[in-house]
Amino acid sequence: MINSGVDLIDIGGESTRPGAKPVALQEELDRVLPVIEGLKECGIPLSIDTYKAETMRQALRAGVDCVNDIWALRQAGALDAVLGSSNCGIVLMHMQRDPQTMQFDPEYVDVISEVSKFLNERAELLMQSCVHHDRIAIDPGFGFGKNLEHNISMLAHLNAFTATGFPVLAGISRKSMLGKITGKDTDQRMAASIAAAIMAADRGAQIIRVHDVSETVDALKLWEALQ
């Protein structure tokens, strides 16, 4: 990934795909801390993908630069965990319900306005707690409590989230929304994932979370050249 031009490495020890079962704290720590230790001198910023406060604290002590939380710091102790670090980046994601139930008929009156409102409120809470605006990024949470129509609407109108003034993270790579459109299995979604990355960048996303780093970097270099 580093040789391919990655800017940030996101490390997670617990799957949060729809229906995934929670992982015990110690098992998550056993998975992620050795990876952080092995990569902390790699020259690339590291992110910890977790919602557990203790994992955040230990990962920050181990040297990660960013906390990426699908619960937007709503779990017990999570807000205090990031406030205890004076300079880490924070990614706040929107999710309806939880990973076990989030895809059971998700409903919105207006997915764009509702997701934007939630993310703004979470970011405002952080800023009221003396977290500087520049430390915060937001993620609308593609596939986290959204059906295909919701996901397509969010991608089409991603600039509505960039209008909040916070950097927007788009994580669409290999997700089921691409499979529903293309009919392709997870390991056959590279082309659709790259197309989605370009669409997201074109609508203002500043962070693109991907699996296929080299191919996506090449595509984004071409897109950037046209800007």
What average pLDDT does range 154-174 have in this prediction? Answer: 96
**How does DSSP assign 141-210, residue by residue?**
-TTSS--HHHHHHHHHTTHHHHTTSS-BEE--TT-HHHHHHH---GGG-HHHHHHHHHHHHHTT-SEE--
Q: What is the pLDDT of residues 127-139, one digit of tens each?
A: 999 999 999 999 9
Q: What is the pLDDT of residues 62-121, one digit of tens each?
A: 999 999 999 999 999 999 999 987 789 999 999 987 666 656 778 899 999 999 999 999
Quick check: 142 and 149 in contact, CB under 8 A?
Answer: no
What average pLDDT does range 171-194 have in this prediction? Answer: 97
Residue with tokens 């704290």: 25
User: Which DSSP helix (H) or strand (E) runs through 91?
Assistant: strand 89-93
Higher pLDDT, 190 or 84: 190
Q: What is the pLDDT of residue 124?
A: 97
User: What predicted TM-score, i.e. pTM, was given to this entire model?
Assistant: 0.94
User: What is the percentage of the chain residues whose pLDDT exceeds 70?
Assistant: 97
Rounded to an integer, what distance in angstroms lies between the CA atom of residue 212 and that of residue 193? Answer: 9
Q: What is the pLDDT of residue 103?
A: 66
Which of the residues are catalytic?
175, 209
Higher pLDDT, 22 or 26: 26
User: Which DSSP helix (H) or strand (E) runs through 221?
Assistant: helix 213-226
Distance set, CA 119 to CA 24, 72, 142, 148 (Å) = 27, 8, 14, 21
Residue with tokens 């706040």: 92
- The SS3 call for residue 68 is strand
Q: What is the pLDDT of residue 226?
A: 96
Q: What is the pLDDT of residue 101?
A: 64
Q: What is the pLDDT of residue 102?
A: 54
Distance set, CA 13 to CA 115, 125, 154 (Å) = 26, 27, 27
Q: For residue 137, what are its two tokens?
A: 């990024």
